Amino acid sequence: MSDDTRKQTEIHAADQIRKHQRNLNTKELSAAILSHDRAALAQAITIVESTQSDHTQLAKEIVQACLPFAGKSLRIGITGVPGVGKSTFIDVFGSYLISLGKKIAVLAIDPSSPLSKGSILGDKTRMDQLAAEPNAFIRPSPSSETLGGVARKTRETIILCEAAGFDVILIETVGVGQSETAVHSMTDFFLLLMLAGAGDQLQGIKRGIMEMCDAMLITKADGENVKPANFAKAEYTSALHLFPAKENGWTPRVEVCSALEKRGLTEAWQMISDYEKWMTERGLISIKRHQQDVYWMHQTIREKLISDFYQSPENKKRISEIESDLIAGKITAFEAARLIVG
């Protein structure tokens, strides 16, 4: 055999092995996820979150294999400003749901996670009770610079968790920025946690987030806080009535709860169950999910078009040429854009 032929044969063999290994991994991993193997689930999520280019295809195959077995959970988004007690609530509420026989996955969306590291789910020990439960799976937010990137990874992680048999997915997000819109657009139910006695401004909650929520929960309703919490419940109930009615006909409700005293958990779950019943009876859950799928498809298309354009070296060169004419005041911004993408 000539050296060249040998080399070719070796490369071919290596390719065969790689291909075989990859197929094996995909198949094995998917099968393990479907048999509710938590280690396999964690490994698959790591592949989905990976930025390594050879993981992209692998991730796609695993997600594709899990897809037919996904979609059966109830997806709950949870938001509220830092300090409202999101982690404590999820810890106690998640444990309560497990006591009802549910399997709970807890995910998080925090597009600024490289900066605010540890702010949400970064420290799993803040969910002591839930972390010790065999029927709970907690996964911190993936690190990623763009909200789009985090959103894709979280949406694919939901699919994997559902295929792994988790029937309630709780997705936590901080009450600022664009991440609420993202979480709202990937969940069935959107829960806003609020503190009693603090004005809306102090809580940094935007009107838009209040409009998005399907229910509000006043947290820390214990001790001296019980009275203000009940007052806040009445106040927010009437405030929510001021918003235009939701298209699905659901009227958002307000409840109080105490994670400390484990009170209000049944009421919170009742509220969510009533919503699920309302939506399911009207066939609205699947319509909502279809709309969300279409929304994310278009979002992804837009992001891809823009990032492809800006990554091209020719475009970069053209932009910097035209930009100098723009800054010199020779052309308008719109003419500059026309010359670049015309």
φ/ψ of residue 138, rounded to 5: -115, 130
Q: Is 5 helix (H, G, I), strand (E, B) or coil?
A: helix
DSSP letter, residue 134: T
206 touches its own copies (CB under 8 A): yes
294 touches its own copies (CB under 8 A): yes
Would you say 118 and 183 are in contact if contact means Cβ atoms under 8 Å apart?
no
Among 297, 312, 316, 321, binds its own copies (CB under 8 A): 297
Considering CB under 8 A, how many residues would be counted as binding its own copies? Answer: 47
> Of 32 and 326, which has the nearer Cβ to its own copies?
326
261 touches its own copies (CB under 8 A): no
Among 71, 260, 276, 278, binds its own copies (CB under 8 A): 71
159 touches its own copies (CB under 8 A): yes
284 touches its own copies (CB under 8 A): no
Distance CA 237, CA 246 (A): 15
Rounding to the nearest 10 degrees, give the CA dihedral for residues 203, 206, 212, 218. 10
234 touches its own copies (CB under 8 A): no
Please, which residues have CB within 8 angstroms of residue 295's CB and are 6 or more apart in sequence? 185
Segment contacting its own copies by CB under 8 A, of 92-100, 124-132, 224-232, 318-326? 318-326
Segment contacting its own copies by CB under 8 A, of 10-18, 104-112, 222-230, 293-301? 293-301
Site for its own copies in 51-70 (CB under 8 A): 60, 63-64, 67-68
Distance CA 189, CA 170 (A): 10
> Of 246 and 290, which has the nearer Cβ to its own copies?
290
Please report, for residues 180, 242, 331, 335, the alpha-carbon distance to residue 323 in angstroms, rounded to integers and kept in the order given.
Answer: 35, 47, 9, 11
306 touches its own copies (CB under 8 A): yes
Give the full edge-to-edge strand order of the sheet including 74-79. Answer: 136-138, 104-109, 168-173, 74-79, 189-195, 215-219, 253-256
The residue ranges that bind its own copies (CB under 8 A) are 60, 63-64, 67-68, 71, 152, 155-156, 159, 200-201, 204, 206-207, 290, 292-298, 300-302, 304-306, 308-309, 322-323, 326-327, 329-338, 340-341
